[in-house]
Amino acid sequence: MLRRVGRAIAVVAGALMMVWPALCNGYPLLYPDSISYLGDGRWLAKILLLHRATGFSAMRAEIYSLGIFPFHWNVTAWPILALQALLTSYVLWLVMRSLVARQVVAKFLVLVGMINLTTSLGWYVCFIMPDILGPVLYLTIYLLVFARETLSMRERWTVYAIAGWTMAAHSTHLVLAVAVCMLLGLLLALRWSPMRGRGRKIAWVAAIALLAAGAQMALHGVLYGKPSLNGNRLPYLTARLVADGPGRWYLQLHCGERRWAMCAWVGNLPHTDDDFLWADGGVWQSASSDAQEQILREEMPLALATVRAYPMAQMRVSLDNFGEELVNFGLWDFDSNAWIESHLDTVLPGARAKYQHTRQAQSRLPVVLFSAVQQWVVMASVLAIVGGVPLLSIRRRGRILGLVAIVVSVVIANALVTAVFSEVDSRYQSRVIWLIPLLAGLIAMDMLSWGREDEEKEELLKDPASRAAIP
């Protein structure tokens, strides 16, 4: 009982450490999208629970809006931080416990404290956005595939539930979860030793992904009359192709042959994806509802036609975008925003006055300092991982090698998916980059335990009756 209480205290202490950016700011950190997430939950709950008439269109991930609604009730955003901090701390605790045999509480608090002060972890825990749920999801996949035996039955079902919600909370998370399952399946087929006997565990994660996809499709069917994974999405891919250049070139050459919806703007196509989607005179904001629907229907055919017409040009610009996104993880999206200030009272009545006194509203958050710190910490962590992986392989540390495979793959895949299909934005990479220092810290702790393990094996060798206990 005392041990269980001690573990709970450690998780709560870890969560409390993670909310320091909000305490420094004087309020949870907000983004323009936060207004939609805070405002949509009540309407979605009315439609689903009270069977109100549909016709409401959510612009953001509906399942995240529904998930956080019981924690804020359009009154205060602080309980959302408690939810995100406790979820993150709990999953990190389970990861730490799966890899560390001794002094788990002390090592957990030290590692969480160091990651908090040197990376974007705490910043995204305090962000009213689903961004932090992506890294939490990828760590749950590690737990379910490589460390399932370290979880009790209650913990296992809790992790299943966390994985399901975090997958469904944003389409990018679901895409990356499927990509991780495919990678692990490939490694299993290639007979990579840490994957031995883990096929059924991968299947469980894949089943959760299917359930999350089904939940998204069912919800979108109720809301919009047609099941889909995307819901009321924006044409991010079209905006990306036009901004990159090949999409613009294709339209300028072929609008006379086929009347794409985009041809109405062919003489005035924007040069950035933000202008395409959000500028007052941009394509999306100036298009009628019928034109918007046609642009969405034609998005994939237009993308395929563009790639066929300019394969090398599109590949070059996509690779450039990917390379830029991969190393673009500064904390630049926590600055002031007049739109947030003008709309905050519509979702949290009375919150505008509190927000106006925050460091974020006054552009006084130390983002330059912490961006620089994170840059150096990530570079050092990459070197530590590169140097540590061969040693882990030699010593056959299969569990932590599995974590290496997941973390490295999602950091790369996250940059690829967001840069190629959406836009280059520091927020996308910064929300996952803290997994690299976390991984480096866990590798370092594992290496520090090797000397003691070797001593214990030597002691066992001295006792013939105990030699069978040596793995």
- State the DSSP string of 310-378: SHHHHHHHHHHHHHHHHT---S-S-S--HHHHHHHHHHSTTHHHHHHTSTTTTT-S-HHHHHHHHHHHH
Which pLDDT score, from 0 to 100, does residue 471 have?
46
**pLDDT tens by residue, 369-399:** 999 999 999 999 999 999 999 999 898 888 9
Distance (Å, rounded) from C-alpha 173 to C-alpha 276?
25
Amino acid occupying residue 167: M
3-state helix, strand, coil in the chain (%, to 5): 75, 0, 25
**pLDDT tens by residue, 106-128:** 999 999 999 999 999 999 999 99
Confidence at 49, pLDDT banded by 50, 70, 90: confident
Query: Which residues pair with residue 29 across a beta bridge?
Result: 127
**DSSP type of residue 255:** T
Reported as half-sphere exposure (CB side, CA atoms, 13 A), residue 150 has a value of 18
What are the boundaries of each domain within the chain?
2-232+328-399+433-458, 236-309
**pLDDT tens by residue, 320-378:** 999 999 999 999 889 888 899 999 999 999 999 999 999 999 999 999 999 999 999 99
Q: Has this prediction a pTM greater than 0.75? A: yes
- Cβ-count burial of 120 within 10 angstroms (0-12 exposed, 13-18 middle, 19+ buried)? buried
Question: Reduced to 3 states, what is the DSSP secondary structure of residue 29?
Answer: strand
Q: What is the mean pLDDT of residues 80-99?
A: 97
Q: What is the widest separation between alpha-carbon atoms in the chain? A: 86
Contact 22, 85 (CB under 8 A): no
The CA distances from residue 24 to 112, 148, 367, in Å, are 18, 37, 12
Q: What is the mean pLDDT of residues 1-12?
A: 83
Locate 250 and state its tokens.
């294709």
- Cβ-count burial of 73 within 10 angstroms (0-12 exposed, 13-18 middle, 19+ buried)? exposed
User: Taking the CB of residue 149, how many other CB atoms lie within 10 A of it?
Assistant: 9
The CA distances from residue 164 to 158, 252, 324, in Å, are 10, 44, 31
Q: Name the CA dihedral angle for 410, 415, 417, 423, rounded to a multiple of 10 degrees.
A: 150
Contact 185, 202 (CB under 8 A): yes
* Cβ-based neighbours of 326, under 8 Å, separated by 6 or more: 411, 412, 415, 419, 429
Angle at 77 (CA atoms; ends 71, 78), nearest 5 degrees: 85
For 365-392, give one letter per residue: b (16+ CB within 10 A) or e. bebeebbeebeebbeebbebbeebbeeb
Place of tokens 């991930």: 61
Confidence at 470, pLDDT banded by 50, 70, 90: very low
Q: What is the mean pLDDT of residues 255-283?
A: 86
Phi first, then psi: what are they for 127, rounded to 5°?
-95, 125
For 315-331, give one letter per residue: b (16+ CB within 10 A) or e. eebbeebbeebbebbbb
Query: Which residues pair with residue 139 across a beta bridge?
Result: none
Which pLDDT score, from 0 to 100, does residue 451 have?
63
**pLDDT tens by residue, 446-456:** 888 876 665 55
Taking all residues of the chain, what is their mean pLDDT, rounded to a whole number?
91
Place of tokens 């009315």: 46
